[in-house]
Amino acid sequence: MVVGAGPSSPEPAAHRKDIEAWRERRLQSLRREDGWLTLVGLSWLERGENTVGSDPKSRVVLPAGKAPARLATITLDGSAARIATSPGETVEIGGKIVDRADLSTDASGEPTIVRRGPLLFYLIDRNGRVGVRVKDTESAALKKFRGMPSFPIDSRWRIEARFEAYQPVKEIPVPNVLGSTSGEKSPGALVFEVGGKTFRLDAVTESGTDDWFIIFGDQTNGNETYGGGRFLYVTPPAPGSPAVVDFNKAYNPPCVFTPYATCPLPPPQNRLAVRIEAGEKSYEGH
């Protein structure tokens, strides 16, 4: 049984309404044309010229029937990349039809989005390794998506936690599905109780949000939930106040939906020896 909810906990009806609204926003984000359900390819670039097209021999293979055999070439020179289309072909970037352009990766913030019909693709940078993610706004996964299985909403899994700050901020190693590890900055740990036992989760900071990002595993992984763990965001508390860890908002990493995502995995200290029976369950057998 969960221990940790305090006097500031909302009424169950208000909490349920909050989680239902969160779940609806989550479903809307998955159904977007650039959501994870549309991811259909990931190709890693080599230095120099990389062909892009539906030809299976292309370095970046696009879905057959939705792009020409040779749409373009992406030239990678160090961290700089540039696309040039094949004769007679064009792509759309920033609402403009172009035949060549410089490309930014997601390491610089928002990557350059290249569009061609129902397809869009962009560059990602993973520890200096540059790849191309391809998304199809007409993907089969998007068309057949009917929702996300989840545990019943339970306010007992909305837990108040003590925040133990790291002074200075600590860098923690976070593994990923590619087999590599990145150093992520952790502002501190969230300490809480479940069933009379104390647990802690290291939070990490993430660009684009003030909330803390939690990558955690628990004993439902590989059974009711995804074997690679789940994600959760926590809002930093006001000084002297507890943080709220609401496991009802635990959600699946994108690797549940596609083999082309590069998901982080829970660091060893964030693998909890307890069943967290809240939040999203696994999706379609993952």
CA distances from 281 to 95, 197, 212 (A): 38, 24, 22
- Collapse the DSSP code of 230 into the 3-class scheme (helix H, G, I; strand E, B; otherwise coil) and give the result: strand
Tokens 């104390």 found at: 198
CA angle 109-111-114, nearest 5°?
A: 165
- Collapse the DSSP code of 221 into the 3-class scheme (helix H, G, I; strand E, B; otherwise coil) and give the result: strand
Rounded to whole angstroms, how far apart are CA atoms 92 and 81? 17
Q: Report the amino acid identity of residue 33.
A: E
CA angle 66-35-143, nearest 5°?
A: 60
The per-residue pLDDT for 8 is 63
**Strands of 100-103's sheet in order across:** 60-61, 48-53, 72-77, 80-85, 100-103
Strands 129-136 and 197-202, by their bridges, are unpaired
CATH 2.60.200.20 residue ranges for the chain: 36-144
Return the structure tokens found at 235. Answer: 């809002």
Sign of torsion, CA 176 181 185 187?
positive
The per-residue pLDDT for 128 is 87
pLDDT along the chain (286 residues), means of 10: 54 95 96 92 96 97 96 93 97 97 90 96 92 96 93 97 96 93 96 97 93 98 96 95 97 94 95 98 79
CA distances from 159 to 15, 130, 184, 190 (A): 12, 39, 25, 10
Q: Output phi, psi for 43, to 5 deg.
A: -125, 135
Task: Choose the CATH number for 36-144 among 2.60.200.20, 3.20.20.70, 1.10.10.10, 2.40.30.40.
Answer: 2.60.200.20
Answer yes or no: pTM beyond 0.85. yes
